[in-house]
Amino acid sequence: MRQVRVAGARGFFDVVAGTGRSQAATMVLAPGESTGGDDNAHVESDQWLYVISGTGRATVGPRTCALDAGTLLLIEAGEPHEIRNTGTAPLVTVNVYAPPVY
């Protein structure tokens, strides 16, 4: 068993734990900040993105969806994606990659 505290996440992107089968990271986007785009895809890894706080928008391939606290989003292996903070507070997420990508 392993327990990791992520409540105080501050860095843009930090890998916080991992095994040979999966990996967890925190991401914090400032208001107006985004990451990813048409060329951002994890070829062999699924990404689960869970929003802890803030609001934003995810663009995954041709689809978009709103993000807010409590949202869990699956970005499947190979899907290009962008995450954007559309709010006035930091967008804080926990991301799980399977298998590890970073």
Helix count and strand count (H, E) for the chain: 0, 9
**What is the rounded average pLDDT of the residues 33-47?**
96
Q: How confident is the model at residue 73 (pLDDT cuts 50, 70, 90)?
A: very high
Q: Across all residues in the chain, what is the average pLDDT?
A: 96
Q: How far apart are CA 70 and CA 20, in angstroms?
A: 27
pLDDT tens sequence across 12-33: 999 999 999 999 999 999 999 9
Q: At a CB cut-off of 8 Å and minimum separation 6, what does 48 contact?
A: 72, 73, 74, 75, 95, 96, 98
pTM of this prediction?
A: 0.95
Predicted pLDDT at 81: 98
Predicted pLDDT at 31: 98
